[in-house]
Structure 1
Amino acid sequence: MKSKYLNFFIYVFILFIFSGYGFIASEKKLPPYYLLKSINQKISSLNNNDKIVFKEIAKNQNINYLETTLIPLEFLEFNLGDQNSETSTSSGAIGLFEDSIFILNKHREIIILDSNLSQTKLFKIKDLDDNNKAFFNKYKKDLRIHDLLIKKKNNEKYLLISHEKYHPNVDKHSLDISYIKLEDNFDLSDEDWNILHEGSLIKYPDYAYSSGGGQLADYDSEHFLMANGDYNLDNWVNKTDMIPPSQNLNTSVGKILKINFHKKDYEIITKGHRNPQGLSVSSFGNILQSEHGPNGGDEINIIDIDIFKNYGWPYQSLGVQYIDFNAPVKGTIGSHEEYEMPFFAFVPSIGISEILEIEGFDKRWNGDILVGSLKSRTLYRLRLNDNKVVYVEPIWIGERIRDVKQKNNKIFLWLDNQKLRIYSISEKLLNSLGREANQTELHALLESCLKCHHFGSTNPNHSAPSLSGLFDRKIGKDPEYKYYSQVLKETDLYWSKDLLQRYMINPQSDFLGTSMPAATERYTETELSEIITLLENYSSSSIN
């Protein structure tokens, strides 16, 4: 009888020990936590057909993937122009109208895509009253076309473009808006281009052709908005005794204009702008505007169309001159005092471009602001609360973003390399087992690795080099990662299984001075071996 009770207590004690260790292993992630989790993950994936892995999805041709914090995206890319041109000064723009996409490329061409993303039209902008031929003969380049907008009047459709016009008799320029009627099939009518708005005549430095702004944004059935830059006529770079044009109400330079398409007149609604690069109006009438600062201080402004405001340039700025730490402003440098303060600013500058409010895309993003960038090659998502920015998420694109548009469940990016990218939510990834790390069949064993590392291409937002192709390149040679420790930079070795396992157990043993933490207490030897096998599989055989 005693033996029977003793056996019972031994079984209970053993059960208690294993249960206790199981609980502690689960909480502290002690071995064999990751191995058991990965086995469970594999079993779960076999029981759920909807939870497919990323590697299977990526076999789809022409579809690329981008992971953001809240949602995964997939995108298609279309090449709509040669990025090389010795004569072009333009970069292009996007216009959305009904179910069609209008693309202005740098070759003075307009391409129209239908809702199925099939090209329906391509035509050259010709016979525009801008004196481009005279300008080309003198300067050996084409005049810049900034933006386009499709607008209705009396049930007719019209194509509007903002562009530079050369006045050879005085060797000056103006920022104009011209329009032409579109037929029902979007062919250009046989009518001539008409001038809707002729901007102020100015003489600007040759290098300042890109500082004119020219962004167009539809406002209501009769009106639209245009942002006009100051072409560096600011008393910063170009000294003058005159009032800077952006502060002079007798000129359209450095202003945002509200233009009546029917009456062909305009009013100035703000002044004091440097180099606008973005302008949008939401369905609720919210007006967002972005502009380049000098060295620092790329601005986001919320425009109130009913209250005239002075945004300060060139009398104030959040930035300074490129050549030193000075700025010829009124008051304290970098304070923006006595003038309308930007809603938000990027310091240092990102080379800000188009801006918009997200509407009807996804409830996780709706109401946020998207901002493109040229210098940073990144799309920024700003989360707002009580009219304040809560956080900014950088989304690496890898190309100069010239224009951004959004309609329903699609986001359109026009890139300076003359490619159009169309982003949408990847429902397959959103409903799959996990984030990209798990969706590459790497499961829970790499959970700790992926707190720092990643798969796919490295971008400036990553804190560690990519694990893709680890065995295909020399140690410390991810070409896009710039922060290797010196000892890894200097080695000429490739990873082997044995070397990598020694490195993971004790990184300092072979590479003294590396910042890699040891994995001794996180994994068993079996788990380490399986991790290394997985990494090897995602080298030469990797989809990346």
Structure 2
Amino acid sequence: MKRRLVLIVTLLFVVACVGLGSLGVGYLGHREKIEPIFGLGERIITRGRRDLGLPTETHVMVGRIETTYLTLRGKVYLMPDQEFRVGGALALWNDDVIVQHSRGTILVLDEEKGLIKTDLAVPENGLEAYIRLAADKYPDQIAKDYAVRYNDLEFIDSPAFRGFLSSYTFIDVENECYRSRISKLDIPRSVTSIYDLTASAGDWEIIYDSSPCLEFNDTRELLVGYMAGGRLAFKEPNIVYLGNGEYHREGLYRPDSGIQSDDSDYGKTIEINLTTGQSRHYSKGHRNLQGVALDSQGRLWTTEHGMRGGDELNLIVDQENYGWPLENLGTLYSGIPAPTEGRVGRHEIYRGPVYAWLPSAAVSSLALVEGFHETWDGDLLIGSLRERTLFRARIKDDQIVFLETIPIGQRIRDVMQVGPKKLALWLDTEEVVILETEPRVDPLTDLVIRLTEKGMAADMAETARDVLTGCNECHSYEENVHGAGPSLHNVAGRRIASTAFANYSTSLRGTTGVWDAQSLTTYLTDPEVFAPGTAMAGLGVGNPEIASAVAAAFEELYAPVEYE
């Protein structure tokens, strides 16, 4: 009996240690963003918040986004029955946002009801037979079902074709090989809404198969479907461009899929004529193409992944060679320079990128913005998986003028413009985000009038506004937007040193209380007296009367006011 008790106590102790250890590893993994722990933690948190009816982390991140010129407000829509499978794509039919999940489910967004499953089945991709084959014939290798994806969806309404194009990896189980495939679904012109459309897998017609059909890998993963690329772009009246990846058969870690060969469709952009069905190589020398888009001049742009650095934005020129794997700006995953025909880190022989990310940002989809806002029109939007940001690229004379970083907080899989005033994002958390612009209002507008109406002398009100204008050089008045100093949005009534600003002085962090008329007046008069050691030492206004007027202006700054 005593021995049994000792065994039970020992077992409980071991279980407790394992549990606490797992919690510790999980906490550190999520805090330090260590994969795959971080990704798993995010999925658990997202699902838990959803089940409890709480806003997800995405809701918090995109509720209000301040960009250089625009304020964006985001609404988040979760996919029903989330599977937490990465990949998938967005399409636009009239004003309806369509989502193709990486497993193939097609949904439509109703901004009142959320994401609704449609009656559209996707073309067969051979996945179920592949999983059975792998279990029976390749038990010692990895067959990831989530790596076999439906990569892109495009709705086209042109004289040449009206309907959907779906890009996906197809597995030919009988011949034990795989390829990229595009199928089309013709939609009668009498059908004007996706809600009125029903389709089975057999209703889709194959219009393109990449060649050759690639044999399964003989080590580790049987196929690396998440490096298929697969994005589509349509050019009137009848041309489709496909960014066809190399399935991680890049010639460095695995046998080359024929990236530089004219006899292989992999590592290429492919031009397909929807009228004739003919296809040709438009460019070659690419790796994992993740974004394909046309600009207002009809020119083709792509984004693609490098390895450890060297992600690229490319302007595609017909019949040009972009160098992979012979030349690139990244390194091997080990950090060792990749074999190259030219000087390491130069990209001088083959056509180089317009822009390259070092280190990698894991850039994803690509979209042109037109008729959205005068400060953005003509720019390219680029999603990011690793950096979890949306990049806005200004192009002039085929070069990038600037690349604005817009934090989203989640892995962006696809982005597109929705009508004149909206953007849509598809995230790897299986959420759709709709972003709309919000007019910006300068909080200092009419401040002098409002202060004088409350009894402040006109000259003092002018002085208070001038001081606040000077403060704006280092401090933003926008919510949660920090510069050299913390945001001053709603500072009156806020706890001292309580924002997410990272660089408060030790002295100010150790100060308790709230910013009210008295504390603001004392601090503004002489910051060093209020908080010895503050970074604002010597930058006070000196005059208590002026400081009091500025404090009163802070209290008035965000009081309700109607603007025409």
Both proteins in one fold, TM over 0.5 = yes
Alpha-carbon contact 1:244-1:314 (below 8 Å) kept: no
Which residue is equivalent to 1:366? 377
Matched, 1:79 2:77: yes
Over 3 Å counting, the alpha-carbon distance change for 1:470 and 1:65 in structure 2 is same
Following superposition, the deviation at residue 339 of structure 1 comes to 0.6
Matched, 1:330 2:353: no
Equivalent AA in structure 2 for residue 422 of structure 1: I
Which residue is equivalent to 2:123? 128
Following superposition, the deviation at residue 298 of structure 1 comes to 2.2
Matched, 1:229 2:245: yes
Which residue is equivalent to 1:339? 350
| Distance of 1:458 and 1:170 partners within structure 2 | 57
Which residue is equivalent to 2:499? 478
Q: CA RMSD in A?
A: 3.9
Q: Classify the secondary structure of the residue corresponding to 1:528.
A: helix
Which residue is equivalent to 1:528? 547
Q: Classify the secondary structure of the residue corresponding to 2:118.
A: strand
Which residue is equivalent to 1:100? 96
Which residue is equivalent to 2:10? none
Which residue is equivalent to 1:399? 410
Instruction: Please point out which of 112, 129, 145 is paired with 1:141.
Output: 145
Over 3 Å counting, the alpha-carbon distance change for 1:477 and 1:322 in structure 2 is farther
Alpha-carbon contact 1:452-1:464 (below 8 Å) kept: yes
Following superposition, the deviation at residue 144 of structure 1 comes to 1.1
Which residue is equivalent to 1:201? 213
Alpha-carbon contact 2:80-2:115 (below 8 Å) kept: no
Equivalent AA in structure 2 for residue 176 of structure 1: R
Equivalent AA in structure 1 for residue 250 of structure 2: D
Which residue is equivalent to 1:466? 487
Over 3 Å counting, the alpha-carbon distance change for 1:482 and 1:168 in structure 2 is farther
Q: Classify the secondary structure of the residue corresponding to 2:145.
A: coil
CA deviation vs aligned residue, 1:314-360 (integer Å, no higher than 9, x gap): 21112223322522222222111201011122333322222233322
Matched, 1:249 2:249: no
Instruction: Please point out which of 317, 323, 326 is paired with 2:328.
Output: 317
Alignment length (residue pairs): 463
Instruction: Please point out which of 379, 386, 408 is paired with 2:390.
Output: 379
Following superposition, the deviation at residue 436 of structure 1 comes to 10
| Distance of 2:399 and 2:392 partners within structure 1 | 13
Query: Structure 2 matches for 1:503-522, cutoff 5 A?
Result: 503-508=523-528, 514-516=534-536, 518-521=538-541
CA deviation vs aligned residue, 1:419-441 (integer Å, no higher than 9, x gap): 33333443xx25x5568998xx9
Query: Structure 2 matches for 1:237-316, cutoff 5 A?
Result: 238-240=253-255, 243=256, 245-304=258-317, 307-316=318-327
CA deviation vs aligned residue, 1:467-511 (integer Å, no higher than 9, x gap): 4576888755534x444456666x484545466655545545565
| Distance of 1:270 and 1:188 partners within structure 2 | 37
Which residue is equivalent to 2:105? 109
Equivalent AA in structure 1 for residue 226 of structure 2: S
Equivalent AA in structure 1 for residue 284 of structure 2: K
TM-score normalised to structure 1 length: 0.72
Q: Classify the secondary structure of the residue corresponding to 1:448.
A: helix
Alpha-carbon contact 2:390-2:408 (below 8 Å) kept: yes
Following superposition, the deviation at residue 276 of structure 1 comes to 1.4
- Say which is worse superposed, 225-234 or 206-215, in terms of deviation: 206-215
Over 3 Å counting, the alpha-carbon distance change for 1:514 and 1:400 in structure 2 is farther
Over 3 Å counting, the alpha-carbon distance change for 1:97 and 1:124 in structure 2 is closer
Matched, 1:214 2:251: no
Following superposition, the deviation at residue 148 of structure 1 comes to 0.3
Alpha-carbon contact 1:181-1:188 (below 8 Å) kept: no
Alpha-carbon contact 1:359-1:408 (below 8 Å) kept: no
| Distance of 2:496 and 2:443 partners within structure 1 | 29
Following superposition, the deviation at residue 248 of structure 1 comes to 2.4
Matched, 1:454 2:442: no
Identify unmatched segments of 5+ residues in structure 1. 1-62
Following superposition, the deviation at residue 270 of structure 1 comes to 0.7
Following superposition, the deviation at residue 408 of structure 1 comes to 4.8
Identify unmatched segments of 5+ residues in structure 2. 1-61, 136-142, 452-463
Following superposition, the deviation at residue 152 of structure 1 comes to 4.6
Which residue is equivalent to 2:32? none
Alpha-carbon contact 2:77-2:115 (below 8 Å) kept: no
Alpha-carbon contact 2:522-2:544 (below 8 Å) kept: no
Following superposition, the deviation at residue 311 of structure 1 comes to 0.7
| Distance of 1:210 and 1:517 partners within structure 2 | 54
Following superposition, the deviation at residue 293 of structure 1 comes to 2.3
| Distance of 2:523 and 2:332 partners within structure 1 | 48
Following superposition, the deviation at residue 164 of structure 1 comes to 1.7
Over 3 Å counting, the alpha-carbon distance change for 1:112 and 1:510 in structure 2 is same
Instruction: Please point out which of 155, 178, 181 is paired with 2:186.
Output: 181
CA deviation vs aligned residue, 1:172-197 (integer Å, no higher than 9, x gap): 43221122233514313355333222
| Distance of 2:493 and 2:100 partners within structure 1 | 41
CA deviation vs aligned residue, 1:1-23 (integer Å, no higher than 9, x gap): xxxxxxxxxxxxxxxxxxxxxxx
| Distance of 2:355 and 2:144 partners within structure 1 | 39
CA deviation vs aligned residue, 1:221-248 (integer Å, no higher than 9, x gap): 2220110122322234x154xx553222
Q: Classify the secondary structure of the residue corresponding to 1:380.
A: strand
Over 3 Å counting, the alpha-carbon distance change for 1:168 and 1:515 in structure 2 is farther
Equivalent AA in structure 2 for residue 77 of structure 1: K
Following superposition, the deviation at residue 141 of structure 1 comes to 3.3
Q: Classify the secondary structure of the residue corresponding to 2:376.
A: coil
Matched, 1:161 2:166: yes
| Distance of 1:208 and 1:494 partners within structure 2 | 57
Following superposition, the deviation at residue 81 of structure 1 comes to 0.7
| Distance of 1:418 and 1:435 partners within structure 2 | 40
Q: Classify the secondary structure of the residue corresponding to 1:446.
A: helix
| Distance of 1:107 and 1:217 partners within structure 2 | 21
Following superposition, the deviation at residue 301 of structure 1 comes to 1.0
Over 3 Å counting, the alpha-carbon distance change for 1:156 and 1:322 in structure 2 is closer
Over 3 Å counting, the alpha-carbon distance change for 1:103 and 1:485 in structure 2 is same
TM-score normalised to structure 2 length: 0.70
Over 3 Å counting, the alpha-carbon distance change for 1:180 and 1:227 in structure 2 is same
| Distance of 1:84 and 1:323 partners within structure 2 | 35
Higher-RCO chain (CA-CA 8 Å, sequence separation at least 6): 1
Alpha-carbon contact 1:504-1:518 (below 8 Å) kept: no
Instruction: Please point out which of 427, 435, 441 is paired with 1:423.
Output: 435
| Distance of 2:405 and 2:364 partners within structure 1 | 14
**Identity fraction in percent:** 27
Over 3 Å counting, the alpha-carbon distance change for 1:409 and 1:500 in structure 2 is same
